Amino acid sequence: MLLAVPLAPLAGSVLAGIFGTAFGGNKFGRGVSHSLTILGVLLSFVLSALVFQSVVYDGARFDATIYEWMEIGGVKMEIGFLIDSITAMMMCVVTFVSLMVHIYTIGYMSEDEGYNRFFSYISLFTFSMLMLVMSNNLLQLFFGWEAVGLVSYLLIGFYFKKPTATFANMKAFLVNRVGDFGFIIGIGLIYAYTGTFNYSEIFAKLPELQATMLPGTGWLLLTVTGICLFIGAMGKSAQFPLHAWLPDSMEGPTPISALIHAATMVTAGIFMVSRMSPLYELSDTALNFILVIGAITALFMGILGIIQNDIKRVIAYSTLSQLGYMTVALGASAYSVAVFHLMTHAFFKALLFLGAGSVIMGMHHNQDIRWMGGVRKYMPITWITFLLGNLALIGTPFFSGFYSKDAIIEAVHASTLPGAGFAYFAVLAGVFITAFYSFRLYWIVFHGQERYDQNPDAHHGHAHDDHHHGHDAKPHESPWVVTLPLVLLAIPSVVIGAIALMPMLFGDFFNGVIFVDGSKHPAMAELAQAIHGWVPMALHGFSAPPFWLALAGVVVSYVFYMVKPEIPAAIMAFSKKIGLYQVLEGKYGVDWVYENIFARGARAFGTVFWRVGDQALIDGAVVNGSWKVVGKIASVVRWFQSGYIYHYALVMILGVFLLMTYFVWLNK
C-alpha cells in the first residue's frame, strides 16, 4: 500500500509522458492523459488518507528498508519509508493539493499545445515530493530533493520558446545548486561521523557527537552540519539571499505556482529541518542562524510585494514572506508550529494562486492588476474564495492562518536566542505588511473602477486572447473544473486551523517525531500555558497586537487604493526621488550581485582559465608543445643517421669511452 502512494502518480506520469506526446506517437488524447494522471493522484490521496487515519487513530508506525540499491565499501544505499505523523500529514497535503491542481489544469490549460506534457510533469512532481517526505534516510531524501528541483526546472521553463521562461528556469536551477552544495556537505559530514544515512541510526548517535569539533576549526561539528543542511533549505525554501529564483518562477503556468511554489516543493526545507530536530536542538548557534535568516525573509520579502503589479508576483512575494515565518518558528525550536503553518499555508496559498489563475482566465490572460477592477460581480465564486484565502493569509481570527501565524509570533516572543528580539519585530511588522499588500491586490482586482478595456498591451504579451473573446469583452467566471478546486481548497483554508491546533501543537500528534529541549528552548512550554483551545485563542486574538496590525493594513490599503489613490501615487513619486523605489524594484540588489559579480565573475574566470589553461597550457604547451619538442629533437638527431658504418662505429667507441670514464670516476 505504501509503495502504491508514490508509484501511482509515477505510472500516470510515465504513460501520459510517453504515449500522450510526440515521443510515443501521440497515442493518448487529452482525455486519456488527464484521466490517467488524475486517477493516479486520486488513488495516492485516498491511500494517504488511509495511512493518516492509521497513524493518528491506531498509532501505526513504519520504518523499514524497501529496496537495497547498492553497497559500496560499507556504504549502504537504500530506499526505505518512514511513516509517522509528520510524514502522514505531508502525504495528505501533497496529494490533496496536487489533486486540486490536476483538476484545475483541465480548465486552465485547455487550449495549450503542451497539455499532455504538463499533466505528465505535475504527476512526476507529485511522485518526487512523496519520495522526499516518505524517506527514512538522507540518501533518498536527497533523491527526492533533486527530483523536485528537476521537475521544477521543467515546469518553470514549460514555455521553452519564451526567453524569459528559459532564463527563469536556469536561474532556479543554478540558485538551488548553491543551496544543494551546502546540503550535500551536511549529509557528508553526518555520514562521516555516524557511518549511516538512516534517520533513526543518526539520531541515536547524535549525543556522542555533542562535544565533537570539526577538525582544524573551533566550530562544533553539529553546528557546522546543521548550518550546511539549512543552506540546502535556504535554496529549496527560498530564504534570503537564495530567494531570487522564486519570483521569476512565475513564468511557468499558474497551476504549478500553486503546486510547487506555494504548497509543496518550497516547504521541503521546512520539513527537512523539522525532521532533523534532534540535531538542531544540540546547536543554539545553528538555531539562531535559522531564526535571523527567517526574520529577514519574512520582513523584507513582504515589503517587495507592495510594489508588484503582476497578480502572480504579489502572491509569490507573499509566499517568500510566509516561508520566512515558518523558518522563524524553526529557529525558535517551535518545529510543530512551523509544520502547522506549513499545512495551513499550503491550503490558503494554493487557493490564492489558483484564484489568481481564475482571474487571469476571466481577464483573457491579462496579469497586470492595473488593468483589472470590478471583477467581483463577474466572477462571484472566484471572488468569495479569493477573499477567504486572503483573510486566512492575514491571520483573521477563526481562520486557519490565524492559529498558525499567531502561534509563531508567540513562540518567537518566548524564545531566548540572541536574534529573537529582531525576529519578533520582523514578524510583527510583517503582519501589517502582509495585510497591506494582500488587500491592495484584493481591492484593485475585485473592487473599484473597471479597467479591463483600457489595457494598452491587450493585443500582445500576456494579454493575448486565448479564449477567442474580443478584447473589450467583459470578464467571465471560470468553468467548474476551475471553480471546484477553489471551493474545495477554501474549506480547509477556513477550518483546518481550528481542527488541528490542539492535537498538532499540544497533543500527542508529534510525539516521538519532533524533539525539543524544553530546558533550553522554552517557546513551546510557554505556548502551552497561553493557549487553551481554538475558541479562547481566537477570542483573545481580537485584543492582541497582530489583529490590530492586520486590521490597520486592511484599512490603510482601502484608503490608499479605493478612497485616496493620489496618496500612494505621491508616496511612489517621493520614493523614486530619494531612490527607495529603485532599491525595491531592484530587489535590494540581490539579482544585480548575482548577475554582475557572480555570473560575470564566473564568466571572467572561465575566460581566464580558457585562455591560460586551455589555449596556452593544454593546447599550446602540452599538445602543440609536445610535437614541437619531438620535431626539434628529430631535426637534430637525424644528422646522426648518415648511413655510413664508420660514423656509427665512431659513436659507439665514444659511448664506451664515456661509460668507462664515468665508472672509473665513481670507483674513486
> pLDDT (tens digit, 9 = 90+) per residue, 646-657?
778 888 898 899
Residue 665 has pLDDT above 70, yes or no: yes
C-alpha cell at 301: 520579502
pLDDT tens for 607-641 read 877 777 777 788 777 778 887 888 888 888 777 67
Nearest to 431 by CA among 561, 347, 266, 548: 548
Identify the band that residue 461 occupies on the pLDDT scale cut at 50, 70 and 90: very low
Q: Is residue 565 assigned to a domain?
A: yes
Q: What is the pLDDT of residue 464?
A: 36
Report the greatest alpha carbon distance in the chain: 116
| CA–CA dist 552, 508 (Å, integer) | 37
Contact 622, 616 (CB under 8 A): no
User: Does 480 share its domain with 346?
Assistant: yes
Q: What is the pLDDT of residue 457?
A: 60
Residue 73 has pLDDT above 70, yes or no: yes
Q: Is residue 638 assigned to a domain?
A: yes
DSSP tag of 137: B
SS3 state at 288: helix
Q: Is residue 23 assigned to a domain?
A: no
Q: What is the pLDDT of residue 415?
A: 86
User: Does 611 share its domain with 580?
Assistant: no
Contact 84, 121 (CB under 8 A): no
Query: Among 47-51, 498-502, 581-585, which range has the highest average pLDDT?
Result: 47-51
User: Does 571 share its domain with 595?
Assistant: no
User: Does 472 share its domain with 621?
Assistant: no
N- to C-terminal Cα separation, the chain: 88
Among 585, 603, 628, the domain boundary falls at 585
Segment 177-195 mean pLDDT: 90
Nearest to 425 by CA among 549, 253, 274, 259: 549
Q: What is the pLDDT of residue 478?
A: 80
Among 537, 558, 585, the domain boundary falls at 585
Q: What is the pLDDT of residue 262?
A: 66
pLDDT tens for 365-416 read 788 888 887 888 888 888 999 999 999 999 888 899 899 999 999 989 888 8
Q: What is the pLDDT of residue 459?
A: 44
pLDDT tens for 517-534 read 878 888 888 888 888 888
The whole-chain average pLDDT of the chain stands at: 85
Number of structural domains in the chain: 2
Range scoring the smallest mean pLDDT among 17-26, 213-222, 233-242: 17-26
Q: What's the whole-model pTM score?
A: 0.84
Contact 165, 158 (CB under 8 A): yes
Segment 166-182 mean pLDDT: 87
| CA–CA dist 144, 142 (Å, integer) | 5
Segment 276-292 mean pLDDT: 90
User: Does 418 share its domain with 514?
Assistant: yes
User: Does 326 share its domain with 434?
Assistant: yes
User: Does 520 share its domain with 660?
Assistant: no
HEC sequence for 17-69: HHHCCHHHCCCCCHHHHHHHHHHHHHHHHHHHHHHHHHHHHHCCCEEEEEEEE
Among 585, 606, 626, the domain boundary falls at 585
Q: Is residue 61 assigned to a domain?
A: no
Q: Is residue 271 assigned to a domain?
A: no
Q: Is residue 635 assigned to a domain?
A: yes
Residue 460 has pLDDT above 70, yes or no: no
Q: What is the pLDDT of residue 455?
A: 64
Contact 324, 560 (CB under 8 A): no
- State the amino acid at position 38 in one-letter form: I
| CA–CA dist 22, 120 (Å, integer) | 13
Angle at alpha carbon of residue 437, lines to 432 and 442, rounded to 5°: 120
DSSP tag of 198: B
User: Does 345 share its domain with 494?
Assistant: yes
- Give the number of other Cβ atoms within 10 Å of residue 344's Cβ: 27
Contact 320, 299 (CB under 8 A): no
SS3 state at 77: strand
| CA–CA dist 486, 480 (Å, integer) | 10
Q: Is residue 158 assigned to a domain?
A: no
List all residues 6 or more positions away from 113 whose beta carbon is below 8 Å from its beta carbon: none
User: Does 430 share its domain with 489?
Assistant: yes
Nearest to 99 by CA among 159, 34, 150: 34
Q: What is the pLDDT of residue 458?
A: 53
- The residue behind cell 670514464 is 661
pLDDT tens for 285-334 read 999 999 999 999 999 888 888 888 888 888 888 888 999 999 999 998 88
Nearest to 90 by CA among 246, 265, 229, 255: 265
- What separation in angstroms does the CA of 500 have from each of 96, 328, 343, 403, 506? 17, 20, 10, 9, 10
Contact 189, 225 (CB under 8 A): yes
The percent of residues in the chain predicted with pLDDT above 90, rounded, is 24
pLDDT tens for 149-170 read 888 888 888 888 888 888 888 8
User: Does 549 share its domain with 651?
Assistant: no
| CA–CA dist 305, 127 (Å, integer) | 32
DSSP tag of 460: S
User: Does 464 share its domain with 539?
Assistant: yes
Q: Which domain holds residue 600?
A: 590-667
Before 241, cis peptide (omega within 30)? yes
Q: What is the pLDDT of residue 186?
A: 92
| CA–CA dist 566, 560 (Å, integer) | 8
The radius of gyration of the chain's CA atoms, rounded to the nearest angstrom, is 30
Identify the band that residue 463 occupies on the pLDDT scale cut at 50, 70 and 90: very low
Identify the band that residue 9 occupies on the pLDDT scale cut at 50, 70 and 90: very high
Q: Is residue 170 assigned to a domain?
A: no
Q: What is the pLDDT of residue 473?
A: 64
| CA–CA dist 639, 175 (Å, integer) | 62
Angle at alpha carbon of residue 135, lines to 130 and 137, rounded to 5°: 155
C-alpha cell at 307: 510594489
Contact 36, 15 (CB under 8 A): yes
Residue 92 has pLDDT above 80, yes or no: yes
Structure-model confidence comparison of residues 361 and 223, the more confident one = 223
Q: What is the pLDDT of residue 524?
A: 84
Residue 240 has pLDDT above 70, yes or no: yes
DSSP string, 352-388: HHHHHHHHHHHTTS--BGGG---GGGT-HHHHHHHHH
Segment 189-197 mean pLDDT: 89
Segment 557-586 mean pLDDT: 85
Segment 423-443 mean pLDDT: 91
- Give the number of other Cβ atoms within 10 Å of residue 7's Cβ: 16
User: Does 454 share its domain with 530?
Assistant: yes
List all residues 6 or more positions away from 210 whose beta carbon is below 8 Å from its beta carbon: 220, 222, 282
